[in-house]
Amino acid sequence: MHTVHSVSIVAQSEAMRTIIRHVDMIAPSDSSVLLIGETGVGKELLAEYIHRTSNRSQGPFVKVGLSALPHDLLESELFGHEKGAYTSASADKKGLFELAHTGTIFLDDIDDFPLHLQSKLLRVLESRELMHVGGTVSTPIDVRLITASKLDLHELVDRGVFRADLYYRINVVPIVIPPLRGRVEDIPLLAEHFFARFTPDKKIGIHDDAMRALLRYSWPGNIRELRNVVQRVSLFLDGELKAADLPPEIREENAIGLLIKACSRCFADDNMSFEQVVDCLEANLLRQAMQQSAGNRTQAAKILKMNLSTLRDKLKKFKLDDTSSSR
């Protein structure tokens, strides 16, 4: 476990230890960092860890969830506004960039940032000054930028919904955080950490059958899902976690069983040829991977250990590309 100023990163997998070593090297610089990973992998925690280990640790750390802010308020929230800039602007207001002055601003879900504001964000980053909405005077700012994306931004650039120049400006130090299913060595340590947090007055052990279930499960919601499961089951535990205490989707998940359930028609229909059964299985594997990766084709290809171009061809073959075209 790595703890800096109360920010704890629980990890023992080589993948995460490598990331932490990398972060420790780049933290003292002012370089922009882009954190890439599925929802729930701990991007916000890593962003705060970078801030706390940087030379700006005494300055503010301002977190902005871009997907949660209405697009019509986003410009004012980020860059501030002057009194009278619009109807409800009854007073001057500092933006979040100003509030982060001398510290770090963390823009989460940068993949949701609207295209029409991307040029203004790029201008602010390049000039290191901003102008309030309705203002006429520029304000200098001194901030370090950390962004996070759950999608492949390069793919969004190719599709014309993310500016290439902004992408290259924020992608100075890219850090890819693997999903929890890709670092199962961290699951026991994380589970123990969350039990200690939610039941500090009780010593909860984890039975072998429960641990096997935790390790076998694919954790589509990643660390956030594991934390929520531990918090839920800890309410009813006194002593030891058994497999029977876990939610059914974790207790009973079996990759082959789920696939057979999804392909029940394949195995029940005597009129289907061998090729049709194989196609049915293949299509369901593709659907599962796309669902597991929240529609991110690059991540789905990694899950299936398949080239991205092959995945695209197969999605087109099974007419699944329409459902994933937004990713």
The per-residue pLDDT string of the chain (327 residues; one tens digit each, 9 = 90 and over) reads 655 545 678 888 999 999 999 999 999 999 999 999 999 999 999 999 999 999 999 999 999 999 888 887 888 889 887 775 565 555 677 889 999 999 999 999 999 999 999 999 999 999 998 887 766 778 899 999 999 999 989 999 999 999 999 999 999 999 999 999 889 999 999 999 999 999 988 888 999 999 999 998 889 889 999 999 999 999 888 889 999 999 988 887 555 555 655 566 666 666 677 888 888 888 888 887 787 676 788 888 887 888 888 999 899 888 887 644 434
Return the structure tokens found at 32: 């922009």
- Helices 222-234 and 186-198: crossing angle in degrees, nearest 10, is 40
Q: Which residue ranges does the chain devote to CATH 3.40.50.300?
A: 2-178
Spatial contact of 180 and 222, defined as CB atoms under 8 Å apart:
yes
CATH T-level fold of 256-324: Arc Repressor Mutant, subunit A (1.10.10)
Distance (Å, whole) CA 199 – CA 211: 18
Q: Which residue ranges does the chain devote to CATH 1.10.8.60?
A: 181-251
Nearest alpha-carbon partner for 79 in 134, 126, 147, 33: 134
CATH class (in words) of the domain with range 2-178: alpha beta
Instruction: Give the model's pLDDT for residue 252.
Output: 72
Phi then psi for residue 128, to 5 deg, are 60, 35
Which one of 3.40.718.10, 3.40.50.10490, 2.40.280.10, 1.10.8.60 gives the CATH number of domain 181-251? Answer: 1.10.8.60
Instruction: Give the model's pLDDT for residue 125.
Output: 93
Distance linking the first and last C-alpha atoms of the chain: 34
Distance (Å, whole) CA 183 – CA 168: 29
Q: Which residue ranges does the chain devote to CATH 1.10.10.60?
A: 256-324
DSSP 8-state code for residue 133: B
Nearest alpha-carbon partner for 108 in 164, 40, 172: 40
Spatial contact of 299 and 127, defined as CB atoms under 8 Å apart:
no
| Residues with Cβ within 8 Å of residue 136, at least 6 apart in sequence | none
Q: What global pTM score does this model have?
A: 0.74
